[in-house]
Amino acid sequence: MDERLLITVVMSPPALQHDSDGDACITIESAIGSETVVLNIESGVTDSGTVTNSKPGSTNMADAVRKARDAFNRGVTKPVEWRRKQLKALKRLYEENRQAMVDALRQDLRRSKTEAILLEVDYLINDLSNTIHCLDEWIKPERPSKGFVNLLDDVVIHNDPYGVVLVIGAWNYPLQLLLLPMTGAIAAGNAVIVKPSEVAVACNKFIVETLPKYLDSDAVVVVEGGPQETTELLKEKFDYIFYTGSTSVGKIVYEAATKNLTPVTLELGGKSPVYIDNTVDIVVTAKRILWGKFINVGQTCIAPDYILCTKEVQAKFVEASKKVLKEWYGEDPQKSPDLCRIINLRHFTRLQAILDNSKDKIAVGGKYDAQDKYIEPTILVDVSPTDKAMEDEIFGPILPIVPIENAYEAIKFINEREKPLVSYVFTENKKALENFVKNTTSGGMCINDTVMHMSVETLPFGGVGYSGMGAYHGKATFDTFTHKKSCLVKNFAVIGEKLASNRYPPYSDSKLNFVMALMRKRHTPSLKFLPYLVAFAFGAGLTYGIVAWNKITSEDL
């Protein structure tokens, strides 16, 4: 008898469940013979496709949160010296375990060394180096401008840590998407509970075993486990929650957070569109789109999900893509060392169903191998909005092209759907570009390239609507985990009290008029051109002096 089971389950929140991105957070019971076992669907799916029992997390969730809370309440995490020590230790972890990180990513996703280093290891190191360098500046109290009524007072915004924050990572970039927000949380002075994805088994093991060796394990607590443990974890009270994953599970995390009015950042996903017009260099455009799509074989939240273009551009794009893909991956892409693999068989089956449903629309690729969890980079043409490929975020190496007539139709198509995490526009037409910027909404935009906006640390990264809320990267990560505490500092100076005493009873019209005059907004002329005026005046004066001196000298001669 085949011991593998096909089980259909209908459950409602707050139990976590499967989604198109591979998040799974439900626990079910199944009777096998005379025994009852608990099956955690995502964590229990093995490479062979069988379902196994979930291994419970080694840490009690309530105890882990209490441990972190105690560290924060004792003031362990607030001193800048502690923060800097932790960040430097984390950098040492990256540098001393570079190969171990590359190996873990290869085990989980068959990630090439180049992609592992560029997209995760060095990405983390560079972000951390910037955080260490800027930490003293970031933590300084801010002093905003103040009105006339507060001229004698001190107006300050203090950068306070929230307290105990929870960071839940994702399996597609299992190191970067967990450790980068964790870095910002530490820099901001929080105690942190980190929950790596159990789906990326090797990276989960690396984090669980390595992080406590370098960081203060009282204030940075690693918890492991599957969906059952995550559900238990979300029952605890946190001061901030940072979640990366799918929209469906994001809703459940958000629901859990609202019970304690906990603020959240949700980094989700969606179907990120690409528009191409006939003004672009089609070969360069193909390279940039295909690279963004096929890194990590499309298992990237900001991967181009589908293309909108005319049939004329579609034909040119397909021809250019055939040449580019052959150049990159050879005659048989399955043998290329530069192509990752699908994370597990459940995801492979989901993607296979899209291909099987679109056999008549495959223009490039289309091959797959279940045993190897391999799906060839594939381009679909003449795709209809009702096709299976357009139902949900693809999250794999399949790129549909939906023909449209013009930019107006493309904008309408995008606006009829949920707001994407990112919109990609390829055009040299400034008016068309302006229309996309002004008339579409997305978490971010990248013009004439894909994915590369992630490398600009001064650009906050985040979604909008169904693609998420909140943002991070660079200083935005620090700000995400920082409460901006506004503070007005009054003094007891006689002049200030004399002016302010008009607010006290007994009231009168004269007092009211005086207070209104103090509070009236006054907009003084902008001083931004003052340095230029000073420089001009100095230059003019110097020139006049030189001319006068020359005149006097010539008269003496």
Active site amino acids:
267, 301
Could you tell me how many residues make up the chain?
Answer: 557
Task: Name the 3-class secondary structure at 39.
Answer: strand
143-144-147-149 Cα dihedral, nearest 10 degrees: -40
Instruction: Check: CB of residue 235 under 8 Å from CB of residue 159.
Output: no
**Cβ pair 329, 338 in contact under 8 A:** yes
Return the DSSP state at 167. Answer: E
For residues 20 and 354, give the distance between their C-alpha atoms in angstroms, rounded to a whole number.
Answer: 12
Q: Which one-letter amino acid corresponds to residue 403? A: P
- State how far the alpha carbon of 307 is from the alpha carbons of 312, 376, 400, in Å: 13, 18, 6
Q: DSSP of 106-144, one letter per residue? A: HHHH---HHHHIIIIIHHHHHHHHHHHHHHHHHHSPB--
Rounded Cα gap, residues 166 and 194, in angstroms: 6
Note the helical H segments in 360-423: 407-415
- Other Cβ atoms less than 10 A from the Cβ of 537: the count is 10
Yes or no: say if 544 and 536 are a contact pair by the CB < 8 Å rule: no
| Nearest-angstrom CA–CA distance, 241 and 220 | 14
Segment 58-64 long-range contacts (CB within 8 Å, at least 24 positions apart): 58/224, 59/221, 59/222, 59/223, 59/224, 59/225, 61/223, 61/229, 61/232, 61/233, 61/235, 61/236, 62/236, 64/193, 64/221, 64/223
Contacting residues for 311 by C-beta, under 8 A, at least 6 apart: 382, 403
The CA-CA-CA angle for residues 397, 398, 399, to 5°, reads 120
Helix, strand, coil percentages (3-state) for the chain, rounded to 5, are: 45, 15, 40
